[in-house]
Amino acid sequence: MVALALVGAGCGPDRRPPEPAPPSAATAPGAAPAGFRVLVFTRTAGFRHASIEDGVVAIRRLGQRHGFAVDDTADAARIGPGLAGYRAVVFLSTTGDLLDPGQQAALEGYVRGGGGWVGVHGAADAEYDWPWYGALVGAWFRRHPPVQRATVRPTPGAAALAGRLPGRWQRSDEWYDFRVNPRGRVRVLATVDESTYSGGGMGADHPIVWCQEYDGGRSWYSAMGHTGESFQDPRFLAHLLAGIRYAAGQTAAHCNPDSSP
């Protein structure tokens, strides 16, 4: 049925057992000296994207090439006082109810203390009963049509925050609609052109990447990254690297809210 295809696959049960945290990237063979540390959080309590493992590998390689250390974990207990040792935490397609009240308070305290948060794709499909998290992301997931090719339009002048991308970036992904349009509360870094694919539901202004200076810290979100192939695409990796650098405070660019397409 068409309705089922449009609702999207972001709501299935997570049948995978919890994964132990791997060894620190700082001790991995060939790792670059760490200028800062990033924690990649991969827990899912809803649908689990197969691309998560691809994303972890890709972010580790980015760290090795660009001078930051990467740890990853699916253990929610790591969202606690230990966050103080990281310049940014990446929620990599995390879905469902992820954190208990103490862990939620720890993430709030981390961001309020100047920490950076990066959300990738399914991170918008999480913690629907936690208003602070919804505001951190910028907008919650609502639905998506099937994976298909579409045209992304980066915002002019946003290369430091979104990566150096072509003015019409054609790629295949799972194009999220959101419960609200975040424009006006965030700086929109790219939109997706609904005229180039089928099933979009947000209209002519469809933000797909944005950032904001939120509650004392920094937040960057990209709705792209559903497919494993995304994490082998040099342009997408440059895009993700720009987000990590912003969240970690490694760029002078700012994310003041905008109000016009």
pLDDT higher than threshold 70 for residue 6: no
Residue ranges of the domains in the chain? Answer: 2-247
Tell me the CATH number of domain 2-247, given options 3.40.50.1220, 1.20.58.110, 1.10.1040.10, 3.40.50.880.
3.40.50.880
Who has greater pLDDT, 19 or 133? 133
Instruction: Give the predicted TM-score (pTM) of the model.
Output: 0.86
* Confidence at residue 1, expressed as pLDDT on a 0 to 100 scale: 35
Q: Is the dihedral of CA 120, 245, 31, 110 positive or negative?
A: negative
Residue 8 has pLDDT above 80, yes or no: no
Tens digits of residue pLDDT in 109-152: 999 999 999 999 999 999 999 999 999 999 999 999 999 999 99
Q: Give the range among 42-51, 175-184, 247-256 with minimum mean pLDDT.
A: 42-51
